[in-house]
Amino acid sequence: MKRLTKLSTALLAGALFAFPALAVDLRIGLQEDADVLDPAQSRTFVGRIVYTALCDKLVDVSPDLKLVPQLATEWKWSADGKELVMKIRDGVKFHDGTTMDAAAVVATIERNMTLPESRRKSELASVAKVEATGPLEVKFTLKAADASLLAQLSDRAGMIVSPTAAKALGANFGSKPVCAGPFKFVERVQQDRIVLEKFADYWDKAKILVDKVIYLPIPDTTVRLANLRSGDLDFIERVAPTDVGAVKGDSNLKYDATVNIGYMALYANIGNGPKADNPFGKDKRLRQAFSLSLDRDALNQVVFEGTAVGGNQSFPPNSPWFNKSIPVPARDVAKAKALMKEAGYPTFDLEIQHANSPVVIQMMQIIQSMAAEAGINVKLKATEFATLLDEQTRGNYQFSRSDWSGRVDPDGNIHQFITCKGGINDTKYCNAEVDKLLNEARASTDDAVRKQKYDAAAVILNEDLPIIYLGHQSWIWAYKKSVTGFVPNPDGMIRLQGVKKG
């Protein structure tokens, strides 16, 4: 090898001073690929992870699950709970350079309420009108009091998008999303990567310490961890519980975990198209039998190494919203068989679609085995997660396994899934009494009243079982030792404020 001459050494030194320091990229492994990157239309959990970098919201959620300011700096309810006035942060720009102000907030909320493809309509159903009452002030006028609205505005319904971009792209906004978050959209290759880069004019840019973030969908948990350990990734979410020991034993890695506020569940097709026309969708006794065939504690121990808890409601057993008069049922194969016989089906064939991640596959294989002992012959159909959700929406399923990441307000865990016109009611279950109870719970600001309504709804839902709840996982993250500043949150999001890669 030739030695560097004095001249070449001088030239190299000059080049080093002439060019800026190397950009810092953070590569994050996700369990699935996100669906459309339009807050009005999307529904995936990993999509929400991407949004924490891409799209700021009116309100955010703190690690202790309090609602805190983000694009709105303060807010106030009227005495009757039918008006909400928000002060909007000054000096905020969208990624296209346009101004984020009260008019932009109004345009976004109206888009969420009227866009034909919007999934946010039920979340904002209580809003009669939204108007700019000043350059940086917005007033929501409600049809009826809605205690859940602030929590809705802490998620996709409250992510403010550029009106200019939204008008230009319409339903195709997700092809080039323009928001007001710390990172702006660069490119997306479906099933491969989503690339964002730091937004120079972000309102809180001092807290953004990496230059680029690259999200890579890797459904196989083993492969995802192997990529982290090899250095191809810097951070991964939803570490398999079986891999926790390996992560903790690796001196090059860090580990964080917290119990989440969501749930794991199976959705029965009750009335969503032709595939609902089958005994399992029509006869609740078959669904009750299926639920009784499951040993939720065993599922927790075998699949999740004791890091999850069994559940039978949209709220975990340690939640103040859990109805204690309906405890998590013990497995009862004899009763399951009796219910099936009563329904006229000593045996029954059932197809269940599920995500193609190893942890879900393992859990579904155990469920398949448990159900078989009650005479339910389960055929498993593994598919990519975004495809699974699309099939659920279309009603192209008999029974579907899908998880929900949870919301701070109890309304967010149940209303949109169960009410007749709920935005994510893929089962198409519809019960007027349940609608009445959940709408009344949403309207009250008195937690005791709300608890009474949720408890009463839980009794009906536990009987009808349009959704069979399985339990509640912990969020588990692993990342390189060189990554610092990450703060775990029970909502499962990966917030990049303060995160640094050494």
409-421 pLDDT, tens digit per residue, is 999 999 999 999 9
Q: What band does 5 get if pLDDT is binned at 50, 70 and 90?
A: very low
3-state DSSP assignment of residue 374 = coil
In order of their start, the domains of the chain are 57-163 (3.90.76.10), 183-259+475-501 (3.40.190.10), 263-472 (3.10.105.10)
Distance, CA of 401 to CA of 386 (rounded, Å) = 13
Burial of 91 (0-12, 13-18, 19+ CB in 10 A): exposed
The closest of 407, 472, 43 to 263, measured between CA atoms, is 472
The closest of 218, 263, 291, 269 to 391, measured between CA atoms, is 269
pTM summary value: 0.76
Distance, CA of 63 to CA of 256 (rounded, Å) = 13
Give the model's pLDDT for residue 300: 87
Give the model's pLDDT for residue 444: 86
Higher-confidence residue of 236 and 258: namely 236
Distance, CA of 28 to CA of 397 (rounded, Å) = 31
Tens-place pLDDT, residues 182-227: 999 999 999 999 999 999 999 999 999 999 999 999 999 999 999 9
Pull the structure tokens for residue 5: 């001459």
Backbone angles phi, psi at 132, to 5 degrees: -85, 115
Distance, CA of 289 to CA of 61 (rounded, Å) = 38
- Give yes or no for residue 15 having a pLDDT over 50: no
* Range with lowest mean pLDDT among 19-28, 312-321, 482-491: 19-28
- Give yes or no for residue 487 having a pLDDT over 60: yes
Give the model's pLDDT for residue 334: 98
Give the model's pLDDT for residue 22: 77
Backbone angles phi, psi at 391, to 5 degrees: -65, -40
Per 3-state DSSP, the chain is made up of helix, strand and coil in percentages (nearest 5) of 35, 25, 40
Share above pLDDT 90 across residues of the chain, in percent, rounded to a whole number: 85
Give the model's pLDDT for residue 305: 87
Distance, CA of 447 to CA of 451 (rounded, Å) = 6
- Give yes or no for residue 81 having a pLDDT over 50: yes
- Secondary structure tally for the chain: helices H, strands E: 16, 23
Q: What band does 88 get if pLDDT is binned at 50, 70 and 90?
A: very high
Give the model's pLDDT for residue 11: 38
Q: What band does 407 get if pLDDT is binned at 50, 70 and 90?
A: confident
| β pairing state of 83-88 and 137-142 | antiparallel
Give the model's pLDDT for residue 18: 42
Distance, CA of 81 to CA of 91 (rounded, Å) = 29
Give the model's pLDDT for residue 260: 86
The closest of 45, 475, 488, 52 to 260, measured between CA atoms, is 475
CB atoms closer than 10 angstroms to residue 64: 8
* CA angle (67 as vertex; 85, 99 as ends), nearest 5: 55
3-state DSSP assignment of residue 499 = coil
Long-range contacts of 316-325 (CB under 8 A, 24+ apart): 316/259, 316/261, 316/263, 316/472, 318/259, 319/261, 319/410, 320/447, 320/451, 321/410, 321/451, 321/454, 323/454, 323/455, 323/458, 323/459, 325/455, 325/459
Higher-confidence residue of 269 and 447: namely 269
- Give yes or no for residue 17 having a pLDDT over 70: no
- Give yes or no for residue 44 having a pLDDT over 70: yes
The closest of 47, 492, 481 to 235, measured between CA atoms, is 481
Distance, CA of 158 to CA of 139 (rounded, Å) = 14
